[in-house]
Every structure is written in C-alpha cells, then in structure tokens.
Amino acid sequence: MTTWMRSGPLVEGEWVRLSDAKGRKHNLRLEAGREFSTKKGQIRHDDMIGRPEGIIIGSSLGGEYQVFRPLLSEYVVAMPRGAAIIYPKDAAQIVTMADIFPGARVVEAGAGSGSLTAYLLRAVGPDGHLGSYELREDFAEVARRNVGQLVGEHPAWTLTVGDVREDMTETEVDRLILDMVDPWTCVPLAAERLVPGGIVCGYVATTTQLSRFVETIRAHGGFTEPHAWETLQRDWHLEGLAVRPAHGAGAHTAYLVTARRMAPGERSLGRTRRPAPGAYGPEYHGPRPPGEESSGDVINT
C-alpha cells in the first residue's frame, strides 16, 4: 500500500508534509534515525514514525510544524519535473469530463512528468489499463520516478518511449488523452482505436492549436461535435473582514477539448447552423467541415 492509499499511523518509507505557522511547507520521506534540517533547527523522523497524521511536532530550536500525508494535488505541484505538469484543476477536469472510470482502457500521449498519469491510474484502478507514451527518454524517466513515488508499482500501467502514432499497441481503448503540440495528427488514430462511444480528449496551450484540433475532428465526421472549454481557478484571502481574491492567482493554464466516437459507418449530425461569415476566410489555414470547401477560399491542410 502506497503513501496515497493508506491511513493509520505514519510508517517508515512514506512521505509526509510539514507546515509551519507562516505556511512554509516541506515534503520529506520518513527514515528511521534521520533528521530534517529547517531554519528552526532539526526535526527527528523518529518523532513522527508510528504516530497519526495531524500531530504537531517541535524542532530542536523551538519551531512547531503540523504533520500530514501530502495530498496528491499537493505533491504533484512540488515534485521534480522534466516537462511541464498538468495542474490538479485540469487533471480533475480530464478525469471528470472524459469520464475516466474504474476498469477503463486509457491511452495518454505524452506522459510529461507523470502528474496526470497518477490521477488516471487512480481512476482506472487495478482492473483498468493505462498506456502512456512519451517521445523523450529523459521526460519518460522523470515520469517513471514520479509515478513510482506516487502510486508504486501499479499493475495497470505501461510506459513506452516512442510516438503514439507509430508505436501504440492498444487496439480497443475507451479513452485517448492527447497532451501534445499537434493533437490533430492523432485524429485518424483516435478513429481507428477508440471503441464506439469512446472519448478523445485534447489538452492544448494556444487558441490556434485549439482551433485546428476542433476543425480536424469536425472534418473527419466520425466524432460528435467537439466540446471545448477552459477552467479558471481563483483562490481567496480570508482574514476577518479582509475578504478578497488572493494575489497572484494563476487562473488560466490550458484549453481542453472532448469528442465521442461514432459507431462504424455512422457520421455525426454536426452543426445545425452555418458558421459565421468569414469564419473560414482566406486567413484560415486548417481543415474545413464538410460542405464548406466550395466557398472559393484557399484551403491549406
């Protein structure tokens, strides 16, 4: 049983998070006989091992620290990174809006630093499958180490260093998650490997990527109308009557898109109204939905 799956007394080998009255936080792995150095002196690991979460321990110079097992959302934002991580607010949206369920067969490209991987593994459980594909060996190694710390040796996970478009071995998947620069290039793969009713989910950084991915899905015709959105998060400062939004809130991170696979031979009903005039004008350089190719504009796909 790993750190993020257990309760009861703290044991050697698992991670804890220390926080002081000023909100400073430290993550450390418990080892018998070791000490952790802070500005307030030394903290003995043995003072935590065998005790419950939620205790307050003292350091050698009188500092006081609360002790809890770190939440997964707390650990992923502080863990070592190769690629940028998918933040907890977006991971929650992917798990929810892509409907990742226990036993699901899921493929993600790429693995990045492993933050979304940990959430997906939690969601599919030991009876599901998650195949992660990462182009870069150095990023894959970071993801491998982070996921090992987070969930241990998970029976549902395989990690492949390679291109999902060329190296994907899974043939029937329920969900395909695309965290990559050019997810539109995976639309044919999604159409081939997703089961009817399966979901493709794209995570992109810019509006131009968002537009091209959505229009490629529409042009294919074998998926439902794409749903695109972003999630904004704003923390609040609460102190007596001083109630206001927190400073430095990182509201926007990325854009998300989902679409569902139609049954073989079926074509999506698409949209019931024509796009706005000029939506596919000369400046547009992406694929067009069926019926929009005859406007006389130059098409560059």
Binding residues for S-adenosyl-L-methionine: 113-116, 134, 163, 179
Q: Residue 282 and residue 246: Cα distance in Å, rounded?
A: 43
Known binding residues? 113-116, 134, 163, 179
